[in-house]
Chain A
């Protein structure tokens, strides 16, 4: 018996260490590739143990800090604004339909729920956003389509309101003379920090990682988020330099482009904030997954 459990312990750790390594190694390869010299990559390929280090890729990025800084700014902007707006409208819709006494409550709950079952598909959505609302090449394109709110989160928040906020509390606030909106802001929301933090975290990751809206609705490089720059760069290494050359009118920069490592360096810059922040929010992230999956 003791033998049995010891063997099990060993296998457990060996398998889990192997899986952890498999999860981390691609990131390590990415980072190593970004600090390898061009000749080392050309000769030996991307490698976990580069023959020769070079900071050229990062120097190149520093020289292009304006484009990258701009893209970073846009990513941060849509993440902050998008998440805030999303939390506001999600909770504002979830609260009324969580109230047992709201007239037409069932209708509104179904109104939200039905969006989880059926959707019109990409083509009509695209046509409405571009032909009717004209979001193409505006900052709205990165904020609104698809990401701003989803029915699932609304129902999740509604369930939280229904189960964690006693109706007696709302009743008491009313007797004390607080209006509905004041009750919502002063009593319901402060009690809902856990669910708001969870949904906010997931929304923030969604906005930070989004490349779809940029790819679909944005063609102007000035509005690219960091993900869109990466998206463009993998197809066209000269994208950064050609773009800045157009702006500054200086040619012949292409020759000094450390093309193979610079791609990887930008990817590192794009993913680093998440890797650095992850240890701090992983606890909430794991908790959030279980809330979402068991409803």
Chain B
């Protein structure tokens, strides 16, 4: 008898609970559907890396071929080249980017007039908000073989012959690094400047009273105090080291085949395999390889951030 009563009250409880929260769940539907379509279904779709895909039969109907696609991929030289390029570029980017951004942020903090500091900051940030397509035009106006600024105006100053930039692979590591820094340094700079500004001014006042020079203050107050942010940003970047900025490596070298030795990264390899070569097997294998290694790296780097500072960890 008591059993029956509690049962009854708990079902009606559950029903009223369901009724109460029903509108909230209703609100969630579009977003949840989108994540299912855009993110979760493709995650399961990653099984096509183990299939011999055949459009007629569809994804589910195609034959399983085990690790064949991966065997093909890792037998080619491409796998090594794209992995090497991706990791080397990103490592270089992280180091140069961080050093320059901190340097500029410190300088910005030294500017006494607030309006001027804002102005510099905004100008340096400007390249961050234009599209890679526009960036590729800007680079083209510098490097175009017949009419670029480099070949027509700058190299002649030093008596150097014209260089056909878009077919000589060896220059591209420098060009891409420069473009990446040019476009992105403003962003990181704003992040570091924000953390510098939040440092308590009392530290500096005390140091000035003790007769410490500004340079000494920067070295022994500013940098140590923003170290947590530096470490956090760097570790997050390391977590994403297997992914590269597709636009930078695809648009800026203008998809030039002659440059692929030094400009091909995992993202461009997957894209070309899918769109131009129609090689879905290899392309999806490379994509899954990237997702899995990327996943492990994100987890590991987050674990490192967590050990270091729990608040800043992603999870």
User: Which residues in A have some Cβ–Cβ distance to B below 8 Å?
Assistant: 1, 4-5, 8-9, 11-13, 15-17, 19-20, 22-24, 26-27, 29-30, 33, 41-42, 44-48, 88-90, 92-93, 95-97, 99, 102-103, 108, 111-113, 115-128, 131, 133, 144-146, 148-149, 151, 154, 179-181, 184, 205, 208-212, 216, 227, 230-231, 234-235, 260, 263-264, 267, 270-271, 274-275, 278-279, 282, 285-286, 289-290, 293-295
Contact partner of B25 (CB less than 8 A), chosen from A4, A96, A227, A282, is A96
- Cβ distance B98 to chain A, nearest Cβ, rounded Å: 14
Contact A293 B31 (CB under 8 A): no
Give the docked Cα–Cα distance between A181 and B58 (Å).
Answer: 41
Contact partner of B133 (CB less than 8 A), chosen from A181, A184, A230, is A230
- Cβ distance A37 to chain B, nearest Cβ, rounded Å: 12
Query: What residue of chain B has the Cβ atom nearest to residue A270's Cβ?
Result: B134
Chain B residues bordering chain A, tally (CB within 8 A): 100
Give the docked Cα–Cα distance between A26 and B144 (Å).
Answer: 14
Give the 6 A-B CB pairs with smallest separation, nearest first. A45-B152, A124-B45, A93-B31, A120-B42, A121-B287, A209-B131
Query: What residue of chain A has the Cβ atom nearest to residue B126's Cβ?
Result: A23
User: Which residues in B have some Cβ–Cβ distance to A below 8 Å?
Assistant: 17, 20-21, 23-28, 30-32, 34-35, 37-46, 48-49, 53, 55, 58-59, 104, 107-108, 110-112, 119-127, 129-134, 136-138, 140-142, 144, 146-149, 151-153, 182, 186-187, 190-191, 194, 211, 213-215, 233, 246-247, 251, 254-255, 267, 270-271, 274-275, 280, 283-284, 287-288, 290-291, 294-295, 298-299, 312, 314-315
CB-defined contacts of A184 to chain B, threshold 8 Å: 27
Contact A282 B122 (CB under 8 A): yes
Given A26-B138, A278-B126, 13 other A-B residues pairs in contact with their CB atoms under 8 A: A15-B104, A15-B107, A19-B104, A30-B141, A46-B148, A88-B30, A92-B30, A122-B271, A125-B45, A133-B37, A145-B38, A149-B31, A230-B137
Whether A20 touches B149, Cβ cut-off 8 Å, given contacts A92-B31, A234-B136, is no
- Cβ distance A31 to chain B, nearest Cβ, rounded Å: 10
Give the docked Cα–Cα distance between A181 and B25 (Å).
Answer: 10
Contact A123 B274 (CB under 8 A): yes
Give the docked Cα–Cα distance between A180 and B24 (Å).
Answer: 7
Whether A124 touches B147, Cβ cut-off 8 Å, given contacts A9-B110, A30-B141, A92-B31, is no
Contact B141 A89 (CB under 8 A): no
- Cβ distance A195 to chain B, nearest Cβ, rounded Å: 16
Interface of B: prevailing SS: helix
Give the docked Cα–Cα distance between A27 and B124 (Å).
Answer: 13
CB-defined contacts of A282 to chain B, threshold 8 Å: 122, 125
Query: What residue of chain A has the Cβ atom nearest to residue B136's Cβ?
Result: A234
Contact B21 A102 (CB under 8 A): yes
Query: What residue of chain A has the Cβ atom nearest to residue B281's Cβ?
Result: A123
Contact B43 A119 (CB under 8 A): yes
Among B39, B45, B55, B215: residue with most chain A CB under 10 A: B39
